[in-house]
Chains A and B, each alone.
Chain A
Amino acid sequence: MKMIVAIIQPSKLDDVRDELYKAEVNLMTVTEVLGHGRQKGVTEIYRGAREMGNLLRKVRLEIAVNDSFVEPTVRAIIKAAKTGETGDGKIFILPLDQTIRIRTEERGSIAIG
């Protein structure tokens, strides 16, 4: 089991979800986050005071998957989120010790999907 964490552009969320459904990955948690990597932030000006390099809005996906789904999930995210420009985002793959479905108390890979 792996936990896939992807940081993507907010505008790509719909496309990424479409691709993930095609790859039969239906379960995910989505949060809105702020951050930036190499991409510079945006300029904001309030009553003449200039604020450079503010943090940008991004979307963070967390998807717990069984091992066989790792590559299809990664492929789906890349397919939808990649534009080739700075700021497309990152994917992190983390080991996942245990998954427990609260309703049934099932544990392990069966509890993921």
Chain B
Amino acid sequence: MNSGDTAWVLICTALVMLMTPGLAFFYGGMVRRKNVLSVLMQCFFVLCLVSVLWVVYGYSLAFAPGNGFIGGLQWSMLNGVGLEPYADYSATIPHQVFMIFQAMFAVITPALILGAFAERMKFSSFVVFIILWLTLVYAPVCHWVWGMGGFLRNMGALDFAGGTVVHINAGIAALVTALMIGPRKNAEKHIPSPHNLPFVALGTALLWFGWFGFNAGSSLAANGLAANAFVVTNTAAAAAGLSWAAIEWFRNGKPTLFGICSGAVAGLVAITPAAGFVNVSGALIIGLLVSAFCYLAAAVIKPKLGYDDALDAFGVHCIGGIWGALATGLFASKLVNSAGNDGLFYGNPELFIIQAKAVGVTIIYSLVVTAVLFKVIDLLMGMRVTTKEEDIGLDLTQHHERAYTMLE
């Protein structure tokens, strides 16, 4: 056991925890003001709900020894998850530290999806959806990639901090739910404007800050690899923010705050799977290019295809995540991480194929299971609020609160 490593991962856990409220403000600023509390509420509810589910059975399902597909239930209620290290996951920190670090990833992943169906989902159905999605989608995919015996892990797929498990997984679920719940009323005629862009900037700042814990904490030690992850994370976010702004400057004549924030988040998403395997030049390319792909998805393809991914959860997280996972297969180098592998540009095309397979499997699984869950809940209790409730707003109809008063 190493006290430096333990201290670092504990701090990183707190940083990742802050990402979910950060996401709440990032998303909350983008919706209309009649729905801002509903987004904040959904994020905070997920934080509470998943924290509880994780210690009760979630961690066990994802990480306990089981088969290639899913973990066992022997670690339910943290039975056997003690204060000594569990060497298969982390030899130098208490097992419970690893568990709580992973808990924060399990919290933010389902929260990412809500950007797709923002402003129109019934809260009770949302709660059921999150419970089922965490259990039937997140836990298995997490086990495949990170769990002992998980089949993608055994195949040699590299995912340093959760590009496949977190971002592609949530991003695909976002696309499925956006398609199935249907567009917001009048969204095709008048795109609802973000009600508070300073909130979006605040949320971006909190996400960026927390992401140091997400990526640099994923080395599970206070060492050189953590330093590498920290540096490439910052570099990719910055490069992506610049390139999004540049695209807008070139295309629309003016760069926007919303754009640079979206770019920074896209950069953070893309560097996530690669953070422990690429050097700073890889990070620059990953960051500079991710904005082009995400911009294309959010600003060009989405309006053409007409699905209403309200806050671009798919456009940023899935597209950014896929690019990051594939880019790991291009730019990974054993010079950065001897436990990793060499990518295509370092003479090993095989890794790229493995990465592409891992992406493909995750997409198909998340797509199918999310669609089934959605359909079942929709039939049983209805996913969408009534048109009248949508008109009045989710804050008042789902929570009996409003964010802003007009008179004192």
List chain A positions with a Cβ less than 8 A from chain B.
9-11, 14-15, 18, 32, 34, 42-46, 55, 57, 85
Contact = CB atoms under 8 A, between A and B. Distances in A.
Nearest to B406: A34
A28 B388 CA distance: 26
12 contacts: A10-B391, A11-B185, A11-B391, A14-B186, A14-B190, A34-B406, A42-B392, A43-B400, A44-B396, A44-B401, A45-B400, A46-B401
Contacts of A55: 407
A57 B406 contact: yes
Contacts of A44: 396, 400-402
From B34, B397, B400, B407, name the one whose CB has the most chain A CB atoms within 10 angstroms: B400
B391 A34 contact: no
B407 A45 contact: no
Contacts of B400: 42-45
Interface size bracket, B side:
10 to 19
Interface in B255-276: none
A-B complex: 10 closest residue pairs judged by Cβ atoms? A11-B391, A45-B400, A14-B190, A42-B396, A44-B400, A34-B406, A43-B400, A14-B186, A44-B401, A34-B407
Interface in B303-326: none
B contact patch SS: loop
A57 B32 CA distance: 14
B365 to A, nearest CB: 38
Nearest to A42: B396
Given A11-B185, A14-B190, A55-B407, 8 more contacts: A14-B186, A15-B186, A18-B189, A42-B396, A43-B400, A44-B402, A45-B400, A46-B401
A18 B189 CA distance: 10
A32 B228 CA distance: 52
Nearest to B192: A14
A46 B405 CA distance: 13
A10 B186 CA distance: 13
A14 B401 contact: no
A10 B190 CA distance: 14
Contact of A45 (B186, B397, B401): B401
Contact of A32 (B397, B401, B406): B406
Residue among A9, A45, A46, A57 facing the most chain B CB atoms (10 A cut-off) = A57
Interface string B369-408: 0000000000000000000100110001100111000110
B406 A9 contact: no
A32 B33 CA distance: 13
Contact of B391 (A9, A18, A43): A9
